[in-house]
A and B are shown apart, each in its own frame.
Chain A
């Protein structure tokens, strides 16, 4: 008996009991469907995180206060006050650092903001240098904060679009209006274009204004450095790392009281987080696949018992053990693969709607589709093996006598 004939037979068997066939594949459908959905969502959110970080600029190095543990790469965070605006200026003006283009500094802190129409709590960033350029921020209306504002500690503010909406309402141009930050009146000179994420929730003021008038500090929380080219990133990292070490009177990178990150580093950490999360959820969905497999095994055992006489007859007519095993394995594999295919389709439909709903990039992860089909056939074989083996072991005479 050829495999095709056995396949045709199993189709006709499964057809005679449609309701049972449908119910027994349900577990596989749900399992495969949720694995597909979660894997697709995971990949989509990973891609969205990646493109968001990359939109910050591939040439960007970020310097933060806090000791590093491995060279200039990783470091502690928090309320370290070791980084100053002078550091940024030194990087900018150094003869030795020739791989960088531009520098910016930021000191940010959360505080209370209000206007005539509303009030909120937001992150206020004091900025200096080529901040907007380095962080790829453009204005939708008004003008930027300039070096001159910084010199005279001007009380000017550029609003993120979300904040603008919150304080002045949707579509209202706030330029020329006054807002209150920490009890000080600031005039709004511009609004940034939406970039998504927390940049939309920020208020930008001159660095000196933030340090001296608003928060009374003399350090900065971040220095941004733009390298001349992507290839020059490592050289730039080293040059400014050693420059800062020298300025901070440290002798070796192990003693560094600052850390330097590239977008690459951030990307890796973020990808790791989403990957772990996706793996976890997919693992849970995979458990439902095992439950589905047990359901298949159960129904196949029932089938074998019900068809004891048939098996006996087939053996009496000349079916070998291998043929019987193949027949029952074929039935369970056809069950799980058709469940798998339906599950894949439902999963793809579900992830299409979910990625839309959460405005993620819509992708079809073909590997996961291939994987699902392979996994479902493996489940069919693994969980169908015991019932099929049991069927093949029946002695023809015992099976024919069975009532």
Chain B
């Protein structure tokens, strides 16, 4: 369902040229649970942004559910991000003014889901992440783990074919990060395709395939037994 073909990403900043990704190729099939690991600066986030259609590769092709992303207009990309991808950011990125519930409702508002269906769906996904009793809390009234679970719930509302998470536990103490991993494991068991970037060995161990990046190149891509 995802396919990267010879993807490179080159940043040029004031004459300084950084090759964040070079010649990356791999496929992700439906139902996979993948960890992308690698040292800091190896290009993990850059790759994740491209996979999430937030950014375009400098060269190479990225095909998402059969569609060539770079040949797609801004507004269609917005729709793809809305319907086909659930993105979970390292720093939660909840809107601080809104309650947990309203944050979760947002993607459905952009999708134009009828109002009466939204609330039921939002409650359902908040239940999946175990937050049905904190719906009315604003982000600053939630713990880090709870915020991240709101972010996961938000990523789930549109039932995207793929969930992308960039160090979802990076900002969390270990007991909270265990909570999150349990949620991801549960979701994968239900059939969601999941790609997680992580530094955390114990998280990587729970996935089924580990891709290792070093200096923008894939140095290993192996199933995890």
Interface, chain A (partner B; CB < 8 A) = 1, 5, 12-13, 16, 309-310, 313-323, 395-397, 400
| A13 CA to B154 CA, complexed, in Å | 21
Interface, chain B (partner A; CB < 8 A) = 49, 52, 54-55, 74-75, 78-79, 81-83, 87, 89, 93, 95, 97, 106-107, 109-112, 154, 158
Residue pairs across A and B with Cβ atoms less than 8 A apart, 25 shown, are A5-B109, A12-B97, A13-B97, A310-B95, A313-B93, A313-B95, A314-B110, A315-B81, A316-B52, A316-B54, A316-B87, A316-B93, A317-B82, A317-B107, A317-B110, A317-B154, A318-B82, A318-B83, A318-B111, A319-B78, A319-B110, A320-B75, A320-B78, A322-B75, A396-B54
For A321, what are the chain B residues with a Cβ–Cβ distance below 8 Å? 74-75, 78
Residue of A nearest to B46 (CB): A397
Cβ B97 vs Cβ A1 within 8 A:
no
Those 4 A-B pairs whose CB atoms lie nearest each other, nearest first: A318-B82, A318-B110, A397-B55, A397-B54
For B106, what are the chain A residues with a Cβ–Cβ distance below 8 Å? 314, 317
For B97, what are the chain A residues with a Cβ–Cβ distance below 8 Å? 12-13, 16
| A313 CA to B106 CA, complexed, in Å | 11
Using A321-B75, A400-B93 as known contacts, list a sample of 12 further A-B pairs with CB atoms less than 8 Å apart, ordered by residue number in A.
Answer: A16-B97, A315-B78, A316-B54, A316-B93, A317-B81, A317-B87, A317-B107, A318-B83, A318-B110, A321-B78, A397-B54, A400-B54
| A13 CA to B83 CA, complexed, in Å | 26
For A397, what are the chain B residues with a Cβ–Cβ distance below 8 Å? 49, 54-55
For A400, what are the chain B residues with a Cβ–Cβ distance below 8 Å? 54, 89, 93
Cβ A1 vs Cβ B54 within 8 A:
no
| A321 CA to B52 CA, complexed, in Å | 18
| A322 CA to B73 CA, complexed, in Å | 13
For A316, what are the chain B residues with a Cβ–Cβ distance below 8 Å? 52, 54, 81, 87, 93
Residue of A nearest to B105 (CB): A5
Do A309 and B93 form a contact, CB below 8 Å, given A315-B78, A319-B78, A397-B54?
A: yes
Cβ A320 vs Cβ B79 within 8 A:
yes
Cβ A318 vs Cβ B79 within 8 A:
yes
For B87, what are the chain A residues with a Cβ–Cβ distance below 8 Å? 316-317
Task: Please give the distance in Å from B116's CB to the nearest CB on chain A.
Answer: 13
Task: Please give the distance in Å from B74's CB to the nearest CB on chain A.
Answer: 6
| A34 CA to B97 CA, complexed, in Å | 36
Task: Please give the distance in Å from B84's CB to the nearest CB on chain A.
Answer: 10
